[in-house]
Amino acid sequence: MTRAPRIGLTTYYKEAAWGVWRRPAAIVPAVYVEAVAAAGGTPLLLPPTGLDPGVLDVLDGLVLIGGADVDAAQYGQAPHPSTAPEPVRDAPELALARAALQARVPLLAICRGVQVLNVALGGTLHQHLPEQLGHTAYQPDPGVFGEVAFRTEPGSRIATVLGAEAASPCYHHQGVDRVADGLRVTARSADGVVQALEPETGGWALGVQFHPEENPADRRLFLALTAQARRRAETRTDHRTDPLSKENAHP
């Protein structure tokens, strides 16, 4: 193929500062962009406002990035006092997750992303894990990453990529509770927290509760995503099937 696979990244919608300006912006931490690029992909940022699942037609892969809590109303619960949603992201990302699975677009869902994936298919979340677990190891302090060790299920996608055991930076206070129909748990930490989910059928998709992008020494999950995205892109080597190709452009 003559181009790198195009990997979409969902984004925050937050107040940001640049130069003399401080205004609302669609942003993504650079570590995600760098991880995709280092794995050989072309990162494309997807703002929540105006985001339509039809964007998948021009993507070869998708990363649902971390961020604010999913609104508890999305899975039929009242919010916990600690729940801090960013509702503008919820509806478009839930729709995008469902569409990606249906279209078999390779998907890596990270932290909030795995929670979006679970809720999109009808699952629920623990809204405040410290109450469940009696510790704050997953979010030691504001802006401070923890580290989680976990075991993977034999034969799973995550086991194929990371092996039987692995560890990663983490930063979250919520987690998967009831697993949605069609998903299965493929990694847990010693305290029982779900660390990975995978669809039981369909294309390549993996949701992880931890933050692999924060470990630049280990790009294996991003390399796996990009490899799957490259296979999808290769089906477009006949440029007539690529919506962004020059041959397919309007005169």
Token pair of 42 as six digits: 């072309």
Task: Quick: pLDDT tens for 8-34.
Answer: 999 999 999 999 999 999 999 999 999
Q: What is the pLDDT of residues 28-81, one digit of tens each?
A: 999 999 999 999 999 999 999 999 999 999 999 999 999 999 999 999 999 999
Per-domain residue ranges of the chain: 6-15+22-248
Cβ–Cβ contacts within 10 Å for residue 249, how many? 9
pTM of the model: 0.93
Nearest to 122 by CA among 141, 86, 94: 94
**Residue 148: CB partners within 8 Å, gap ≥ 6?**
137, 138, 167, 168, 170, 189, 193, 195, 209, 210
CATH (residue range 6-15+22-248): 3.40.50.880
Per the CB < 8 A criterion, the answer to whether 223 and 35 are in contact is no
Token pair listed for 212: 């692999």
DSSP string, 71-99: PGGGGT-PPPTT--B-HHHHHHHHHHHHH
Q: Which residues are catalytic?
A: 111, 211, 213
- Residue 41 burial by Cβ neighbours in a 10 Å radius (0-12, 13-18, 19+): buried
**One-letter amino acid for residue 182 of the chain:** G
How do residues 79-100 score in pLDDT, each as one tens digit?
999 999 999 999 999 999 999 9
The yes-or-no verdict on residue 115 having pLDDT over 90 is: yes
> For residues 150 and 14, what is the distance between their CA atoms, to the nearest angstrom?
32
